[in-house]
Amino acid sequence: MTVHTGYTVKQERAQGKHLLSPPLPRLTQSFEQNGEAKYEVIVVGGGPAGMMLTLLLARYGLDETSLLCIDNNESGQSSGHADAFQPRTLEVLKSLGLADDIINAGYQLWETAVWDPSPTQKNVIEHTAVNPLISTAARYPFNLALHLSKIEPFIENDLLRYHKQGIQRGARLSDVKISDDPGFPVEAIIEDKGQRRTVRSKYLVGADGAHSSVRRCMELQLEGDSLGYIWGVIDLIVETDFPDIRRPSFIHSSTGSVLVIPREQVESGEYLTRLYVQTPEKVNTWDTQETTKAKRNGFTLENILQYAAAAFRPFKISPKPHGGVYWWAVYEISQRMLSHFTVADSAGTPRVFFVGDACHVHSPMAGQGMNVSMMDSYNLAWKLMYSINGLTPKASSKSLLDSYHTERYPIAKQLMQFDRVTALMASGKVTAARDSNGNTLTSEDFIDNFKEGSAFMSGCGIEYQESIAVQITADNNNPISGTDYASGILRPGRRLLNVKLRREADGSPRDLHDSFQSSGRFRILVLASSDLLDPQGTSSQTLKYLTESLLPSYAPSTIEMVAVHPGLPSRLNLNALPSRVKQYCEMSFYDGSKIDDAYQIFGVDNKRGVLAVVRPDGYVGVVAELGDVGRIDDYLQKCVQRLPLLGVMV
């Protein structure tokens, strides 16, 4: 190519920011620090929950002048040992543009194996079953094992693109109070390199883990109890002839249980394995504190390895010689949580929030901790931001903030219940057949519990209760057929399932989720009816109302639109639809009959179509008949502030 003339009007710059995350519009006055020590939000704790919250708020538009995240750990090296992402967490990371790097670095868990005591041979185990690990429909139908220390840099590097300071490390919270100040009622005292300073904020979030300082300052306590079981956990490079060493395996032996979690490669190219190993010791309710402590501290690495070796018989298992063990610990299984996840000011508005281990702790075996913690933050972030930016009508702001507790508390409660049952089952003896009293546990019981819990464990099966942001559909008026929500049937309170569809504009196969990025926007999802091309039909009229009346009445870009048609006899020409449809969804208009069948998966009759609103966190807020734009209008008007009418402005 020989270029002979030309000039550059604009130089495109290579900047790392995620293109699809422009900050949210702000209807309130912009925040200025003015030299005072005040912020809009203070996040205490920079672990997975705190980092996720800080990243989301920064992407939505809070920069280092209005958002502070502190962590008392100087080094930034995590002491946590979380190591698995659920499918739902991966979906959320994908919606932030962060999943691929993390998936590439991690190890995918697809199948699970169960081994039980042999019914014919004494003291050896026998293969019982291999099942898929995830049985819920999901964009990523696997768990991903990766050490927290490898996950955090991906999130923190991204945070630094939006927030210059990132996480301020080595700063410790020493006190928090809520005052009557109407603007910045939260007063926190922070110690940083021996200096104490008082900072004020609108909101403060305790993301500071099981030993939360925020919780202590608010004089709150976790409630719950211990099951008494003592387990060991080891990360190691194994030498073994156990055939399922690369599948998550539940081993029930006559001497105790072991849970195998295969993990990612280390730098040598070898693969890590995590073993959860049951010990024969149990703490009793009548044990003194000292007896308890002695029981827990009585174990050595060698003990744990011996229990493991006994459970694996007839197979051999041992650490690779010379440095094969990376980490080990002993813990007692317990479940504890806060009875309320927010603390309100005197006017009843929540000002202090708890996320993650600061409000719920449990055993690590089911790999839930980091996931539920990050999803707490994911639920909270947009609600905080909508309140701060005035994107929620004033009258609804308190309700929206309250919905953090009403939505996340029941999930934590379920988590405690699931963890308790799993721990009991894992710690109980499994026999080949139920005994005459029906009291002992069989392998089938174990597998059944696992299958029942699978939707919850995947993070994809959770359902939020009715609130300002979730409007349940009355049965007599439900345009959706089907109740198998785990397979994708549309349901207010559940996340919209990803489907693969062909985009009209360019014929590219796309994941529908890629039109639902985590940029803080509400979206109207239109599944048009088959009469789409009839200008007098319901679809056309609805599209006309949405694009000409509803959407223009909100701040530009707060509400987006995604449209799907049920297959048409020829290529769809957007010029044939109401004129502003192209403006709102040229690049988010899909053929719902190609690749996946969106209508069938979502439970929608393609002659009737459907309307839905999807919240900024991907959960369906409301579902309505295609022609029932009033229902959509009502829902949105409660959640999102409309622009003042032009007449009023003039």
Q: Which of residues 78-117 bind a copy of itself (CB under 8 A)?
A: 97, 100-101, 104-105, 108-111
For a copy of itself, the binding residues in 21-50 under the rule CB under 8 A are 22
Q: Please report how close the Cβ of residue 20 comes to a copy of itself at its closest, in angstroms.
A: 7
**Alpha carbon distance 90, 5 (integer Å):** 48
Please identify which residue in 27, 124, 254, 271 interacts with a copy of itself, judged by CB under 8 A: 271
Positive or negative, the CA dihedral 136, 140, 144, 146 is negative
Stretch that binds a copy of itself, among 14-22, 66-74, 165-173, 641-649 (CB under 8 A): 14-22
Specify the residue, 147 or 215, whose C-beta has the smaller distance to a copy of itself.
Answer: 147
CB 42 within 8 A of CB 188: yes
Long-range contacts of 186-189 (CB under 8 A, 24+ apart): 186/42, 186/351, 186/352, 188/42, 188/44
Query: Environment class of residue 563 by beta-carbon count within 10 Å: exposed (0-12), middle (13-18) or buried (19+)?
Result: buried
Cα(499)–Cα(491) distance, integer angstroms: 15
Residue number with CB closer to a copy of itself (329 or 424): 329
432 binds a copy of itself (CB under 8 A): no
Secondary structure (3-state) at 511 = strand
- Print the SS3 string covering 107-127: EEECEEEEEEECCCCCCCEEE
Strands 67-71 and 167-169: parallel
461: phi then psi, degrees, rounded to nearest 5: -95, 0
Round to whole Å and give the CA distance between 553 and 485.
33
**Which residue stretch of 9-17, 444-452, 453-461, 527-535 sits at the interface with a copy of itself (rule: CB under 8 A)?**
9-17
Token representation of residue 80 = 């946590």
Closest approach, Cβ 133 to a copy of itself, in A, equals 9
Exactly one of 40, 71, 91, 152 binds a copy of itself (CB under 8 A); that residue is 152
- Peptide bond before residue 314 is cis, with ω within 30 degrees of 0: yes
Whose Cβ is closer to a copy of itself: residue 195's or residue 575's?
Answer: 575
Tell me which residue of 515, 514, 538, 509 sits closest to 611, measured CA to CA: 538
Among 307, 312, 328, 522, binds a copy of itself (CB under 8 A): 328
Contacts 24+ apart (CB under 8 A), 531-535: 532/565, 532/566, 532/568, 532/572, 532/577, 533/568, 533/576, 533/577
Q: Return the residues of window 130-149 that contact a copy of itself according to CB under 8 A.
A: 130, 142, 147, 149
Instruction: Enter the tokens of residue 190.
Output: 């922070």
Residue 314 touching a copy of itself (CB under 8 A)? no
251 Cβ neighbours under 8 A, 6+ residues apart: 115, 125, 257, 258, 259, 260, 311, 312
User: Minimal distance in Å, beta carbon 275 to a copy of itself?
Assistant: 14
- At closest approach, how far in Å is the CB of 2 from a copy of itself? 5
- Contacts to a copy of itself from residues 247-266, by CB under 8 A: 247, 262, 265-266
Q: How far is the CB of 303 from a copy of itself (least distance, A)?
A: 11
332 binds a copy of itself (CB under 8 A): yes
Query: CB under 8 Å to 31, separation ≥6 — which residues?
Result: 40, 65, 66
Nearer residue to a copy of itself within complex by CB, 256 or 369: 369
**In the stretch 282-311, what mask flags binding to a copy of itself with x, by CB under 8 A?**
-----------x--xx-x------------
Q: Which x/- pattern over 610-639 shows residues binding a copy of itself (rule: CB under 8 A)?
A: ------------------------------
The answer to the question of residue 3 lying near a copy of itself (CB under 8 A) is yes
Dig out the tokens for 355 from the structure: 């996320």
* Shortest CB 6 distance to a copy of itself, Å: 3
Report whether 38 contacts 184 (CB < 8 A): yes
- Select 127 or 340, whichever has its Cβ closest to a copy of itself: 127
Report the residue number, 213 or 363, with the smaller CB distance to a copy of itself: 363
> Looking at beta carbons only, is 142 or 404 nearer to a copy of itself?
142
Tell me: does residue 208 bind a copy of itself (CB under 8 A). no
Q: Which of 28, 123, 153, 549 binds a copy of itself (CB under 8 A)?
A: 153
What is the rounded distance in angstroms from the CA atom of residue 627 to the CA atom of residue 378?
A: 32
Q: By the 8 A CB rule, do 139 and 159 touch? A: no
Q: Which is nearer to a copy of itself, 150 or 398 (CB)?
A: 150
The count of residues interacting with a copy of itself (CB under 8 A) is: 79
**Which residue lies nearer to a copy of itself by CB, 128 or 606?**
128
List binders of a copy of itself among 527-586 (CB under 8 A).
571, 573-575, 586
